[in-house]
Amino acid sequence: MINKNRIFLLVCLIFTVTIQAQNAVDVFISMPAELLPGITEANKTLLLVDTTETSVPFMFGEIRKVKQGDDFIKIETSNIGNMQLKLLPVTKDSSIVCVIKTVCGGVDTKLCDSDISFYTTEWKKLDSDTFLDEVSAEIFFDSSQKGSENYKYALSLPDIYPISAEFNENNDDLLLIFNYKERISDIQIAGITPFLKSDSITLKWEDSSFR
């Protein structure tokens, strides 16, 4: 069944998103201050002045550019956090912006959790549900075993499952990683493992949404 709300939104985007092709650098430099506090437009320009790794002073130390391409930028915002910006096509001549903010903690900062949001190239926030179904621990589990009491128990451990997201700079794939091992005991891990399909899932950008 065709999602009428999605079609309506995409039609609106055709008229509201700047038709002139933009690259990730243009969009990053125009990013509102609230999305990257403390970084001036001049510093953002300096950060992206070349294609190698560069850094600029920041109130909490330094911000470092990790990766940069025509439609993708990854910035290390601290020793435990990073931001990814990706331009995703919605029509032949227009794109939306996906921003992923990730914060890590735990042993060796491997326990990472990401927040994913979407914007027009003019930085008007969009409804994330239009482009990405809810990201939860359950998408990593084998739903065919849903009736099992052990399945329900496995899904309930722990109360919060951190899930991190990572773009592939060479395409529009979105990798979701289930970070659960550092939050629970070895016995609990053994209880969860039989019900997991995988601890990572790759979503493809198709028909203007992730699938």
Q: pLDDT tens digits, residue range 8-66?
A: 454 454 444 444 447 999 999 999 999 998 888 888 888 887 666 777 877 667 889 99
* Sign (positive or negative) of CA dihedral 130, 131, 137, 141: positive
Query: b/e per residue, 15-41, with b = 16+ CB within 10 A?
Result: eebeeeebebbebbeebeeeebeebee
Q: Is 24 helix (H, G, I), strand (E, B) or coil?
A: helix
Q: pLDDT tens digits, residue range 143-197?
A: 999 988 889 888 887 666 789 999 998 899 999 999 988 888 899 899 899 999 9
Q: pLDDT tens digits, residue range 100-156?
A: 999 998 665 678 999 999 999 999 999 999 999 999 999 999 999 998 888 988 888
Q: pTM for this one?
A: 0.85
Domains of the chain: which residue ranges? 4-210
Instruction: Give the model's pLDDT for residue 1.
Output: 42
